[in-house]
Structure 1
Amino acid sequence: MVFSFQDRFPVTITHIDYIELAKKIKQWGVELGFAEVGITDIDLSQHEAQLQRWLDNGYHGEMAYMAAHGMKRARPAELVPDTQRVISVKMNYLPPDASFAKALSNKQTAYISRYALGRDYHKVMRNRLKKLGQKIEREVEQLGYRPFVDSAPVLERQLAEKAGLGWRGKNSLLINKKAGSWFFLGELFVSIPLPIDNPNESEGCGKCNACITLCPTGAIVEPYVVDARKCISYLTIELQGAIPEQYRALLGNRIYGCDDCQLVCPWNRFGQLTDEQDFHPRQSIKDQDLITLFSWDEATFLKNTEGSPIRRIGHERWLRNIAVGLGNADYNPAIIQLLTERHQHTSPLVQEHIEWAISQQNEKQINTERKQARLIRIIEKGLPRDA
């Protein structure tokens, strides 16, 4: 994959005040809804060895696109020839009333990663970045620019770190001392020599290992390194086939993504609520009962996820994930009945997870009955003889 600017201008334009232009760009970015804007050069050579090790270890799992472009991910000018600078932006997405604890503690409720409760961020941010490029183009006629939002081989966190937007935490996410990590990242590749921002934040994780220790599946295999094959976000979103059985119980009620490594991060006490209405939760999917969501047919799924990032996994994997959640829920005869009814009307992939869920529910039923019998015996022993 190679992108190119529509026009190329090898002659340097000398009459533009790039320092003043950089100030304007940052102001325009804020006006467009970005929480912060930084500018960096395109030298990511120091990250190439780590990227190669990550790929060699197979930590990308089924995400073949991560390896398909080789080191182009760390070489912006190979991705988009003539690129001189990258404008990195962040946009807050933490919604009001995120209700993390309430949703995670209720095993009958489906937990969806908070970034996915609203409109697809790719569309929102790409449109804003395009507008930012157009504003710059009005100032610099001989301009090439290209927006990216998690849509091409780009080391976005490393670029954002170089642009002074934060540091990469031990969970591999970018962390900002004033905003935690509840934000999206996007980039605008440009063909002009803007002044660059120096990283103004040192690594702030210190001795804290909370994200590593509390990751439900142990996916953070060492500081700053995530084995995607173990990550709940990967398992529920990227993985095409069956969820490995050893991870199913660990998913709990998380049916799309996972926020745990952010929830335990001390810096996220500074998380900023989003002003974007597009990122506010849709009530049709936020903290809904697992039984309700599993009952959706494909048409209902497509209707309720229109414009949402959730739609990309499709109805089949939606059912796969929820089946696991139902297996992890507290024992409920209605769950067994629903799973049994849906079994013959689903694909082999979903059927495998339904069968696992039914076995989990049956085991919980047996344990519940044993507890009740034990309680009855205790009560009977304590009753008077003439009771």
Structure 2
Amino acid sequence: MLFDCLQMPEWCLRFGIVLSANQQPFSREEAALYTEHLRTLGLAHGIDRIGVAPATVMQRARETLHSRKSVGLHDTMQFTYRNPDRSTNPDAAVPNAKAMIVGACSYSTDTPDEPTQLSARVARYAWADYYEKLRDGLGVVTETLKSDGWNAQVFVDHNALVDREAAYLAGLGWYGKNANLLISGAGSFFVLGSVVTDAPLVVNERLVDDGCGACKRCLDSCPTNAIVEPGVIDAAKCLAWLVQKPGVFNRGYRVALADRVYGCDSCQDVCPPTVRLGITTKPTNVRAWVPILHMLNMEDAQLMESVGQWYIADRNPMWVRRNLLIVLGNIGSAEDEGVRNAIAKFCTHPEPMLRAHAIWSAARLGLHQFIPQSDEDPVVVEELKNLPELRVG
């Protein structure tokens, strides 16, 4: 019955026989046919890689999250660390879950030319909304499952599941020493997501062997030494987290931020499998850089609209401005009138957090005329006590 429905799904749905067919157990052959049908469907709708993992508790990931959380390696990061027991249990997302259909969409795009205006760098995964393509493709798979009488739910860019572990269990790749999932024959420039379902699909039974060997380029290239050992990240040092973390940006890592306003690709840009094997496309409608001075002059609503798909804590534009001000101190020129005007404006800004970071940048650029002699706010006072040296070059 199932095979016939796969051949003529519209006929099956029209006459309402799929639900009754699904009340009977799948044979191994039927399950394999249905699994392949769903995989082919996802690939046809823009997903680059698909695998199927068992929807059992991801015990290894659970133990890892608890262990790293216990020693503070997560810093204040939440996401899947918030509730490890939930984020490693697919059954908590979909009752009686049997399988996770894991999809991966590449965001490996040739780097566009750098603009001539003063600009800040954006991490590659945020050049466009790559999750939208993945969400759409997995959505088609989900609707097919539901139409066929199964319960299914999409989880893309969501804290309900540890997506890298799901992809690993689905046989899509291995964990690199930079803690990213390296997809076999393609590298790590992928966004990941899953469909959790109670359909009894054929799941992967063979994990991908480590492909890193003795290579440790990612460890050597990290600008803050955040990869404390192979596969282990100290979030308190990781720029990709620090640009998202609310509060005062750690002074010890501001210079290392360089021109980055959102994310960091350093450990992936040097990864041999990613560099050699990554799927590359010509850049279209991507935004690899953002104009610093223009964004600093935006009103709140305009600024947040311009960074729509970025994760911004509490959707507070202050954190975007904070990052932009640090970048301004790292790459701006004191001879640039626009830079001087921005520094002057934010050194007297009513928000102490922004005053503090503008003061840091003013000192870096030698614009001490804009630095106040004193301030009543403790955040700014602390900044005045720890002014950086003048930037050289």
Q: TM-score, normalised by structure 2?
A: 0.80
Which gives a bigger RCO, structure 1 or 2 (Cα 8 Å, sep 6+)? 1
- Which deviates more, 333-342 or 48-57? 333-342
Cα distance in 2 for residues equivalent to 1:366 and 1:204: 44
Q: Aligned partner of 1:222: which letter?
A: E
Is the counterpart of residue 212 in structure 1 residue 219 in structure 2?
yes
Is the counterpart of residue 137 in structure 1 residue 146 in structure 2?
yes
Runs of 5+ unmatched residues, structure 2: 1-18, 368-387
Given candidates 345, 348, 356, the residue that maps to 1:344 is 348
Cα distance in 1 for residues equivalent to 2:286 and 2:138: 23
The number of residue pairs the alignment matches comes to 348
Given candidates 258, 262, 265, the residue that maps to 1:252 is 258
Specify the alignment match of 1:298 in structure 2. Answer: 300
Specify the alignment match of 2:125 in structure 1. Answer: 115
Q: Aligned partner of 1:36: which letter?
A: R
Mapped contact 2:111–2:283 kept (Cα < 8 A): no
- 1:367-386 aligned within 5 A: none
Query: Matched residue of 1:211: which SS?
Result: helix
Query: Matched residue of 2:73: which SS?
Result: coil
- 1:159-170 aligned within 5 A: 159-170=166-177
Q: For residues 250 and 219 of structure 1, do their structure 2 counterparts lie closer, same or farther at Cα, with a shift above 3 Å needed?
A: same
Is the counterpart of residue 155 in structure 1 residue 162 in structure 2?
yes
Q: Aligned partner of 2:271: which letter?
A: C
Q: Aligned partner of 1:113: which letter?
A: A
Cα distance in 1 for residues equivalent to 2:391 and 2:330: 14
Specify the alignment match of 2:44 in structure 1. Answer: 31
Query: Matched residue of 1:309: which SS?
Result: coil
Cα distance in 2 for residues equivalent to 1:160 and 1:302: 31
Aligned-residue offset at 1:178: 1.7
Aligned-residue offset at 1:212: 1.0
Cα distance in 1 for residues equivalent to 2:344 and 2:36: 61
Is the counterpart of residue 42 in structure 1 residue 55 in structure 2?
yes
Aligned-residue offset at 1:13: 3.2
Q: For residues 23 and 179 of structure 1, do their structure 2 counterparts lie closer, same or farther at Cα, with a shift above 3 Å needed?
A: same
Specify the alignment match of 2:94 in structure 1. Answer: 80
Aligned-residue offset at 1:35: 0.2
Q: For residues 40 and 319 of structure 1, do their structure 2 counterparts lie closer, same or farther at Cα, with a shift above 3 Å needed?
A: same
Cα distance in 2 for residues equivalent to 1:258 and 1:107: 21
Query: Matched residue of 2:243: which SS?
Result: helix
Mapped contact 1:336–1:361 kept (Cα < 8 A): no
Is the counterpart of residue 356 in structure 1 residue 365 in structure 2?
no
Specify the alignment match of 1:51 in structure 2. Answer: 65
- Which deviates more, 228-237 or 182-191? 228-237
Identity of aligned residues (%): 25
- Which deviates more, 197-206 or 80-89? 197-206
Cα distance in 2 for residues equivalent to 1:82 and 1:89: 21
Cα distance in 1 for residues equivalent to 2:271 and 2:70: 29
Query: Matched residue of 1:89: which SS?
Result: strand
Cα distance in 2 for residues equivalent to 1:207 and 1:107: 41
What's the CA shift string for 1:236-260, capped at 9, x where partnerless? Answer: 12x0111111111110010101111
Runs of 4+ in 1 over 6 A off after TM superposition: 363-368
Specify the alignment match of 2:105 in structure 1. Answer: 91
Q: For residues 302 and 176 of structure 1, do their structure 2 counterparts lie closer, same or farther at Cα, with a shift above 3 Å needed?
A: same
Cα distance in 2 for residues equivalent to 1:192 and 1:149: 19
What's the CA shift string for 1:74-132, capped at 9, x where partnerless? Answer: 22223332111110010011234345xx68xx99431001111213x444433332221
Q: For residues 314 and 96 of structure 1, do their structure 2 counterparts lie closer, same or farther at Cα, with a shift above 3 Å needed?
A: farther
Aligned-residue offset at 1:311: 6.2
Specify the alignment match of 1:315 in structure 2. Answer: 317
Cα distance in 2 for residues equivalent to 1:229 and 1:68: 16
Alignment RMSD, CA only? 2.9
Cα distance in 1 for residues equivalent to 2:312 and 2:286: 15
Runs of 5+ unmatched residues, structure 1: 1-6, 372-387
Mapped contact 1:110–1:290 kept (Cα < 8 A): yes
